[in-house]
Amino acid sequence: MFLLGYFHMTLHEQINKEMVEAMKAKEEVRLSVLRDLKTAFMNELVATKRKPDEKLSDEEAITVIKRKAKQREDSIKQFTDGGRAELADKEQKELEVLKSYLPKMMSKDKILEIAQAKKNELALEDKSKMGMLVGAVMKETKGEASGKDVKEVVESLF
């Protein structure tokens, strides 16, 4: 009997596939977000001097999705500040779709554990070395912690 080996679909391929599903299911918000991502992926490929029909690695795709999520967060804040709740709601729905493709973020407790260990390892006591610690913790968490959370946790250590 012939068995197919384990097949891992990249995030790029998964988003292309789910775009078709969203189209068939007439999920307008999801479809709009996925189309936007597909365009952003193509732009990323072109910006890195690759052919538009190539695929991004999962890490590259996550970077693009994080960038898009950050844009939505900024828009939500601006629309909320400007009293445009309906536009903020639309951006919030789009942000939820984007977040479903991002890895689960690390808790502040876990970040604190890592930051404390790094601070001891690097023997940092001076507040002027805070940036060095933030960088070391960000590298250690490999994109599973937001920069904002890492900065807050590191500041609490000094």
pLDDT for 118 beyond 70:
yes
Mean pLDDT of the 66-89 span? 95
Comparing 68 with 103, which gets the higher pLDDT? 68
Strand, coil or helix: what is 39? helix
Domain ranges of the chain: 11-99, 108-157
Q: Tell me the backbone φ, ψ of residue 107, rounded to 5 degrees.
A: -75, 160
Query: Looking at domain 11-99, what is its CATH homologous superfamily?
Result: Uncharacterised protein YqeY/AIM41, N-terminal domain (1.10.1510.10)
- Kindly report the CATH number that applies to the domain delimited by 108-157: 1.10.10
Amino acid 5: pLDDT: 44
pLDDT for 6 beyond 50:
no
Are the CB atoms for 125 and 116 separated by under 8 Å?
no
pLDDT for 13 beyond 60:
yes
Q: What is the mean pLDDT of the chain?
A: 88
Amino acid 39: pLDDT: 95
Cα separation, 126 vs 120, whole angstroms: 12
Are the CB atoms for 153 and 115 separated by under 8 Å?
yes
Amino acid 121: pLDDT: 87
